[in-house]
């Protein structure tokens, strides 16, 4: 794979001005309809399109030749792609169709591999379709979270944003993530801690690097083998394998140090546990343990993510017994808000997406009068003073024809409301902090370095401040007064 | 990253038993007072790790003088009150059993309170006199006590006449209340952006930061995609030696610099380099440090005077390295000078930046005038040049003045020109000005796919903004585009095709009390502004007319046909069922 040869590039972290071949991109169809894809000049799956690799969407087909080389964020028109008559490779069960293709094309599968490749290299130039478009976007963790293939419960943007905020995940942070799941948190965390790829290939060796330039890193764990494999593949495809080290492992049983890594290397200072039983994993996150993955010299920030309150209670009990401090539990409620214009009134009668009941009392009264007049006309056959009544059909016709000239986007009242589907509970977030170990010797050293002055509370012979002198003088004066009073009594 | 030990002259946050926070600067050899809880010496926390809890206690030295010292409170002691009631967690229980043992917890807690499993508050009569000790007595006791305040609290509890009637919950609550009032403890926290934001919001002036809550701040951070772009050149894919550009964010910040600080923290330019590993103390000229310490030892006089706020970074002759071009923040401000007062907590003075601070080269500020009409700004006008000989003939004062003016002009011109050239990777707005007027001038400066985030404490400005990008308006714009020279028009104050997927969202955290058997959300919280975030992506609309495809509400038959077409592959040009609708 081309991505593998350039591990030090990720369109998540740097995207150049234009979409280059082999970079990971997202086709934006609608806000919640995003199609992630790797841009390829040639079709790696060999699906048989004459334009090379093509992404087919609801809004048309997009040969990658029309996407590569355009600036990120561009609106790209769909192309006219012959999706039907291609001879798909490995298309089992459709033998009839394939045979027909072979016959019509005359060469088909009998042609040598080399020839096939040649044909691919000279991709047909895509022809623009008259309708349909997408926007070509570089990936961000937010876009990835919205588009990712669900494998487990996803940590959504409001949650992971707040978690990373509280974990103090910054460039240079080393973060342990257990229960990588679908990988949404993994991507967001990678962006937060990223401060450069390690210089030597994909393997980091923090012990050899200069101490002051600690690279941010995610030590990620997943105990479901299939999920771990899938995520590993995604991380590689996204060019994040220099930042994220994913291990297939059950951390509750085996701890937080990958087998191929010396224990001294992890040195994490932030931890995120999205596990069914986080309290079982906590025993490995202990400084007394010689194979501790925690950094010995920093504060450790921890967050656990559990949907049930019982999990939270047990986690917190365990945290307290293990000496974690500043334990706090919160939940995040988020909502998206919809803005629209609401049109109300009789003038909207018969139109779509409006409320055609009277907009005001005046309108209601007017309508009632009209109805009243009509019924009087009907019963008494009285002469209508106002002249010809407009039939309902005619009225609706008038409203519809007037619609042409109206600027509906400016009419009506601007309103906002929460979007129909609310996430009312995601999970409880437990935060805790483990301060650095502070021994008697450390304290002695610190005392030696910063000697606390012996504070003298009442000192007679030291230099006296101005304020003190004033105070003394006042006391003296007061004393004199008292003295005088006494004297006067004596007299 | 913050240094892990308290450094001299650093600002730190102190969490007090009352849950309020105090920000102090740790000047060596001074005394820090924390109000009613007492005072301690700065040297007692210097060089110590963060997140430790200290207890103030008055000790008596060998020569009979009273001295207040600090003791580190171990975590076990912090939880002493809680643990009394906590059943031991079975160390190894399978996750499946959690529900069963959850019941067990509740049962045991009640059971541990002895025979009175169902003690209720029905016997309790409200009586303000149940506390026998008077205020004066408590004050007297406080004055003579030397310890952490624990004995005092014990005494107060003892002298409560109706203590035995209290339910376990009420007793715990009462103890907690007294603890908050009298316990002489504090926790030392590093002053980072989240802590600073929290402090201003809850203890200081929330209006100063536009009531920006942590949850919203973190949303802004995520959606704006702000992240570190290291200066090391990353090899480009085509190997063409293309320079890695990018990492430039545009910000309009009227939160006194909180937003800038937050972004800087995410971009690794908030703290001076080497701040984390080597001591920050080495940044102070060592002579001064030595003086402070020696002077103190020599004559023992209060050295407060000597050490009052020694500027951590001394203004040095400005290097001519010039502003950075990647990993930068460009701030546009409405007044003649930007308000970045909160950056002082990170040792950055916008008026007199020290060259050792990364923000000096990575933060660029310009006014709206300099952006929109630079010719009208006096700083943008090139000062008169003089020949080398003329300059040499000047007095040194005039000469340096001349060069200072030139440097200032160079910087302003560079920043204004660079900003006007655009291609920013993102825009973050937190301003009380109308967002429509801001986006009108800033969205064109963004590159394609740049993220736009607008914060507002109230929703109305964002609703108005969102309406400018509504689907109906965009469709009208696309079908009948107005003359580009006439923009903005009354109907289209903003070009609605430039932003994709505009969304308004909000988030709020709810804190819970989690004590054994007493788990519930906190009873009170902060009101005020909710805080909303508008997010969108800058896009580059295709030239010419673009027709969308999809959504066939009116003619169902066509919808079916199109669906069939996309699966079975009739040529996608099939315009059957194409309605003038928008795909986003």
End-to-end, the C-alpha distance of chain A in Å comes to 112
B128 domain-assigned: yes
**What is the DSSP-derived secondary structure letter of residue B565?**
I
- Which of A35, A173, A330 is best to mutate for the B interface (most B CBs within 10 A)? A330
pLDDT digits (tens, 9 = 90+) for A348-360: 888 888 888 999 9
CB contact (8 A) between residue B542 and residue A74:
yes
Is the pLDDT at A362 greater than 90, yes or no?
yes
ipTM of the complex: 0.81
Same-domain check for residues B470 and B448: yes
A356 domain-assigned: yes
Size of interface A-B (CB pairs under 8 A): 378
Give the contacts of B318 (CB within 8 A, at least 6 positions apart): B355, B407
What residues in A contact B571, CB-CB < 8 Å? 80-82, 84
Same-domain check for residues A93 and A70: yes
B298 domain-assigned: no
pLDDT of B364 reads 93
What residues in B contact A326, CB-CB < 8 Å? 51, 187
Same-domain check for residues A133 and A149: no
Same-domain check for residues B225 and B347: yes
Range of the domain at A88: 12-139
Walk across the sheet containing B21-25 and list its strands.
B21-25, B11-15, B185-190, B53-60, B66-72
Shortest CA gap B70–chain A (Å): 10
Report A:285-324 residues touching B (Cβ under 8 A).
Answer: 297-299, 308-314, 316-318, 320-321, 323-324
Shortest CA gap B218–chain A (Å): 5
What residues in B contact A79, CB-CB < 8 Å? 572
A72 domain-assigned: yes
Same-domain check for residues A233 and A360: no
pLDDT above 70 as % of chain A: 76
Q: Do A255 and A216 meet the contact criterion of CB atoms below 8 Å apart?
A: no
Same-domain check for residues B554 and B537: no
Report A:95-114 residues touching B (Cβ under 8 A).
Answer: none
Same-domain check for residues A308 and A161: yes
Report A:26-45 residues touching B (Cβ under 8 A).
Answer: 28-31
Shortest CA gap A370–chain B (Å): 33
Range of the domain at B412: 209-231+247-275+318-543
**What is the DSSP-derived secondary structure letter of residue A132?**
E
Q: For position B519, which CATH number holds?
A: 3.40.50.150
B217 in contact with A, Cβ within 8 Å: yes
Of residues B155 and A490, more confidently modeled: B155
B234 in contact with A, Cβ within 8 Å: yes
Same-domain check for residues A343 and A232: no
Q: For position A101, which CATH number holds?
A: 3.10.330.20
Number of domains chain B is built from:
3
B293 domain-assigned: no
pLDDT of B57 reads 78
CB contact (8 A) between residue A84 and residue B476:
no
Q: Where are the beta strands (DSSP E) in B516-555?
A: 518-521, 532-538
Q: Which of A123, A139, A155 is the last residue of a domain?
A: A139
What residues in B contact A453, CB-CB < 8 Å? 29, 41, 43, 296, 300
Same-domain check for residues A232 and A342: no
Same-domain check for residues B410 and B379: yes
A50 in contact with B, Cβ within 8 Å: no
Same-domain check for residues A376 and A306: no
Same-domain check for residues A228 and A188: yes
Strands B53-60 and B185-190: what pairing? antiparallel
Report A:76-95 residues touching B (Cβ under 8 A).
Answer: 76-85
Helix (H) or strand (E) holding B368: helix B368-372
Number of domains chain A is built from:
3
d(CA B496, CA B498): 6
DSSP tally for chain B: helices H, then strands E: 19, 15
What residues in A contact B278, CB-CB < 8 Å? 212
Shortest CA gap B471–chain A (Å): 8
Question: pLDDT grade, residue A347 (50/70/90)?
Answer: confident
Q: What is the mean pLDDT of residues A45-65?
A: 83
B584 domain-assigned: yes
A457 domain-assigned: no
CB contact (8 A) between residue A409 and residue B219:
no
Shortest CA gap A333–chain B (Å): 5
Among B476, B539, B569, beta carbon nearest to A75:
B539
Same-domain check for residues B322 and B443: yes
**Token pair listed for A455:** 């504070």
Same-domain check for residues B396 and B442: yes
Same-domain check for residues B463 and B529: yes
d(CA A305, CA A400): 54
B302 domain-assigned: no
A449 domain-assigned: no
The phi and psi torsions of A251 (rounded to 5 degrees) equal -70, -30
pLDDT of A232 reads 94
A195 domain-assigned: yes
B424 in contact with A, Cβ within 8 Å: no
What residues in A contact B573, CB-CB < 8 Å? 80, 129-130
What residues in A contact B104, CB-CB < 8 Å? none
Same-domain check for residues B422 and B398: yes
Same-domain check for residues B183 and B252: no
A378 in contact with B, Cβ within 8 Å: no
pLDDT of B159 reads 74
Q: For position B55, which CATH number holds?
A: 3.10.330.20
Question: pLDDT grade, residue A299 (50/70/90)?
Answer: very high
SS (H, E, C) A138-177: CCCHHHHHHHCCCCCCCCCHHHHHHHHHHCCCCCCCEEEE
Q: Do A344 and A359 meet the contact criterion of CB atoms below 8 Å apart?
A: yes
pLDDT of A189 reads 96
Q: Which of A109, A139, A169 is the last residue of a domain?
A: A139
A330 in contact with B, Cβ within 8 Å: yes
Please name which of A370, A365, A368, A363 lies closest in space to residue A347, comparing C-alpha atoms: A363
B240 domain-assigned: no
A90, with CB counted inside 10 A (0-12, 13-18, 19+), is exposed
What residues in B contact A21, CB-CB < 8 Å? 237
Q: Which of A90, A120, A139 is the last residue of a domain?
A: A139
A87 domain-assigned: yes
Q: Do B234 and A161 meet the contact criterion of CB atoms below 8 Å apart?
A: no
A488 domain-assigned: no
Among B50, B219, B550, beta carbon nearest to A58:
B550
Helix (H) or strand (E) holding A479: helix A466-490
Report B:466-525 residues touching A (Cβ under 8 A).
Answer: 466-467, 470, 472-473, 476, 491, 500-501, 503-512, 514, 516, 519
A437 domain-assigned: no
B305 domain-assigned: no
What residues in B contact A455, CB-CB < 8 Å? 31, 41, 65-68
> What's the residue count for chain A?
491
Print pLDDT tens along chain B (584 aa). Answer: 346 889 888 999 999 988 889 999 999 989 898 888 888 888 889 999 999 999 887 766 556 555 567 888 888 888 876 654 444 444 343 333 333 333 333 333 344 444 444 455 666 666 666 777 777 777 777 766 666 677 777 777 777 777 777 777 777 777 777 777 778 889 999 999 999 999 999 988 899 999 999 999 999 999 999 999 886 544 444 443 344 567 899 999 999 999 999 999 999 999 876 544 333 333 333 333 333 333 333 333 333 333 344 444 444 444 445 688 889 999 999 999 999 999 999 989 888 888 888 898 899 999 999 999 999 988 898 888 888 888 888 888 888 888 889 989 999 999 999 999 999 999 999 999 999 999 999 999 999 999 999 999 999 999 999 999 999 999 899 888 888 888 888 889 999 999 999 999 999 999 999 888 888 999 988 888 899 999 999 999 988 777 777 654 444 433 333 333 332 222 222 233 333 333 33
Same-domain check for residues B50 and B156: yes
Same-domain check for residues A172 and A272: yes
Report A:434-463 residues touching B (Cβ under 8 A).
Answer: 435-436, 438, 443, 445-446, 449-457, 462-463
Same-domain check for residues B538 and B558: no
Same-domain check for residues B552 and B538: no
Q: For position A306, which CATH number holds?
A: 3.40.50.150
What residues in B contact A330, CB-CB < 8 Å? 509-512
Q: Do A241 and A12 meet the contact criterion of CB atoms below 8 Å apart?
A: no
B241 domain-assigned: no
CA B84 distance to own-chain centroid: 37
pLDDT digits (tens, 9 = 90+) for A394-440: 888 888 888 888 888 888 899 999 988 888 899 999 999 999 888 88
What residues in B contact A164, CB-CB < 8 Å? 218, 222
Query: Which residues are bridge partners to B535 per DSSP?
Result: B453, B503
Same-domain check for residues A319 and A342: no
Same-domain check for residues A81 and A176: no
Same-domain check for residues A192 and A306: yes
């Amino acid at each position: 794979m081309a991505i593998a040869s350039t591990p030090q590039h990720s369109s998540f972290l740097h995207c150049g001005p234009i979409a280059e071949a082999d970079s990971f991109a997202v086709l934006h169809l609608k806000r919640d309809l995003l199609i992630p894809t790797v841009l390829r000049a040639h079709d790696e799956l060999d699906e048989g399109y004459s334009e090379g690799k093509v992404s087919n969407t609801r809004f048309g087909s997009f040969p990658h030749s029309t996407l590569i080389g355009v600036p990120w964020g561009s609106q790209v028109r769909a192309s006219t792609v012959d999706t039907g008559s291609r001879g798909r490779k490995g298309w089992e069960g459709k033998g009839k169709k394939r045979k027909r293709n072979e016959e019509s094309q005359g060469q088909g599968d009998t042609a040598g591999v080399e020839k096939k490749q040649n044909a691919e290299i000279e991709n047909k130039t895509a022809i623009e379709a008259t309708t349909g478009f997408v926007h070509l976007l570089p990936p961000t963790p937010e876009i990835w979270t919205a588009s990712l293939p669900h494998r487990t419960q996803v940590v959504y943007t409001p949650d992971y944003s707040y978690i990373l905020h509280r974990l103090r995940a910054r460039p240079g942070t080393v973060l342990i993530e257990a229960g990588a799941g679908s990988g949404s948190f993994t991507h967001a965390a990678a962006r937060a801690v990223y401060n450069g790829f390690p210089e030597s290939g994909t393997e980091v060796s923090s012990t050899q690097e200069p101490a002051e330039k600690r690279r941010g890193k995610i030590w990620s764990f997943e105990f479901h083998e299939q999920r771990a494999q899938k995520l590993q593949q995604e991380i590689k495809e996204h060019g994040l394998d220099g930042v994220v080290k994913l291990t297939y492992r059950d951390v509750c049983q085996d701890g937080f140090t990958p087998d191929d890594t010396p224990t001294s290397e992890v040195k994490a200072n932030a931890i995120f546990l999205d596990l069914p039983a986080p309290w079982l994993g906590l025993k490995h996150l202990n400084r007394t343990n010689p194979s501790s993955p925690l950094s010995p010299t920093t504060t450790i920030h921890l967050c656990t993510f559990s949907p049930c309150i019982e999990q939270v209670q047990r986690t917190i009990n365990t945290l307290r017994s293990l000496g974690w401090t500043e334990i706090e539990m919160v939940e995040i409620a988020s909502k998206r808000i919809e803005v629209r214009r609401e049109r109300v009134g009789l003038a909207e009668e018969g139109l779509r997406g409006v409320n055609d009941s009277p907009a005001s009392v005046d309108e209601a009264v007017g309508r009632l009068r009209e109805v009243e007049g009509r019924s009087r006309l009907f019963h008494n056959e009285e002469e209508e003073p106002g002249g010809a009544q407009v039939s309902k059909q005619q009225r609706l016709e008038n409203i519809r024809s007037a619609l042409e000239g109206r600027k509906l986007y400016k009419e009506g009242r601007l309103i906002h409301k929460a979007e129909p589907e609310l996430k009312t509970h995601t999970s409880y977030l437990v935060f805790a902090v483990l301060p650095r170990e502070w021994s008697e010797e450390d304290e002695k050293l610190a005392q030696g370095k910063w000697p606390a002055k012996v504070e003298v509370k009442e000192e007679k012979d030291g230099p006296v401040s101005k304020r003190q002198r004033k105070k003394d003088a006042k006391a003296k004066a007061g004393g004199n007064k008292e003295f005088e009073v006494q004297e006067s009594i004596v007299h | 990253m913050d240094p892990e030990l308290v450094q001299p002259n650093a600002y730190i946050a102190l969490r007090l038993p009352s849950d309020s926070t105090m920000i102090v600067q740790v000047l060596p050899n001074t005394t820090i007072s924390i109000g009613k809880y007492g005072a301690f010496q700065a040297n007692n926390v210097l060089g110590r790790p963060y997140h430790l809890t200290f207890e103030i206690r008055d000790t008596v030295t060998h020569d009979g003088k009273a001295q207040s010292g600090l003791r580190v409170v171990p975590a076990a002691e912090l939880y002493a009150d809680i643990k009394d009631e906590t059943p031991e967690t079975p160390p190894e229980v399978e996750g499946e059993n959690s529900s069963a043992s959850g019941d067990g917890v509740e049962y045991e807690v009640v059971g541990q309170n002895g025979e009175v499993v169902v003690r209720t508050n029905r016997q309790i009569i409200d009586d303000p006199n149940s506390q026998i000790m008077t205020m004066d007595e408590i004050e007297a006791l406080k004055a003579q006590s030397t310890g952490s305040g624990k004995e005092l609290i014990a005494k107060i509890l003892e002298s409560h006449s109706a203590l035995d009637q209290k339910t376990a919950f009420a007793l715990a609550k009462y103890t907690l209340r007294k603890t908050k009032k009298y316990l002489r403890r504090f926790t030392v926290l590093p002053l980072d952006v989240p802590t600073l934001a929290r402090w201003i919001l809850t203890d200081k002036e929330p209006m100063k930061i536009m009531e920006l809550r942590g949850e919203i701040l973190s949303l802004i951070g995520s959606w704006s995609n702000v992240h570190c772009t290291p200066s090391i050149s990353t090899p480009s894919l085509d190997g063409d030696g293309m320079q890695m550009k990018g990492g430039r964010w545009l910000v309009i910040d009227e939160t006194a610099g909180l937003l800038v600080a937050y972004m800087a923290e995410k971009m690794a330019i908030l703290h001076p380099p080497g701040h984390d590993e080597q001591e920050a103390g080495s940044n102070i000229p060592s002579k001064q440090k030595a003086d402070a310490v020696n002077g103190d030892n020599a004559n023992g006089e209060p050295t407060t005077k000597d050490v009052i706020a020694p500027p951590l970074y001394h203004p040095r002759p400005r290097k001519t390295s010039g502003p950075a071009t990647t990993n930068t923040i460009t701030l546009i401000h409405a007044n003649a000078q930007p308000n970045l007062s909160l950056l002082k907590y990170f040792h950055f003075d916008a008026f007199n930046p020290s060259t050792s601070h990364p923000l000096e080269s990575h933060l660029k500020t310009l006014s709206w005038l300099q952006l929109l009409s630079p010719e009208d700004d006096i700083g943008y006008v090139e000062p008169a040049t003089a020949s080398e000989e003329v300059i040499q003939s000047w007095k040194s004062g005039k000469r340096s003045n001349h060069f200072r003016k030139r440097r200032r002009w160079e910087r302003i011109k560079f920043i204004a020109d660079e900003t006007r050239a655009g291609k920013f990777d993102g825009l973050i707005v937190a301003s009380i000005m109308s967002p429509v007027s801001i986006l009108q001038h800033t969205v064109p400066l963004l590159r394609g796919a740049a993220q736009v985030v607008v914060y507002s404490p109230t929703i109305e400005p964002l609703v108005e903004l969102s309406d400018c990008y509504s689907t109906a308006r965009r469709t009208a714009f696309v079908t009948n585009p107005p003359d580009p020279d006439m923009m903005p028009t009354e109907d289209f104050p903003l070009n609605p095709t430039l932003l994709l997927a505009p969304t308004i969202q909000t988030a709020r955290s709810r804190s819970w009390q989690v004590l054994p058997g007493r788990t519930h959300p906190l009873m009170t919280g902060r009101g005020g502004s909710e805080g909303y975030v508008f997010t969108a992506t800058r896009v580059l609309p295709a030239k010419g007319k673009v027709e969308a495809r999809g959504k066939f509400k009116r003619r169902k038959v066509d919808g079916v046909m199109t669906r069939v077409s996309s699966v079975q592959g009739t040529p996608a040009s099939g315009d059957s069922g194409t309605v003038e609708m928008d795909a986003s």
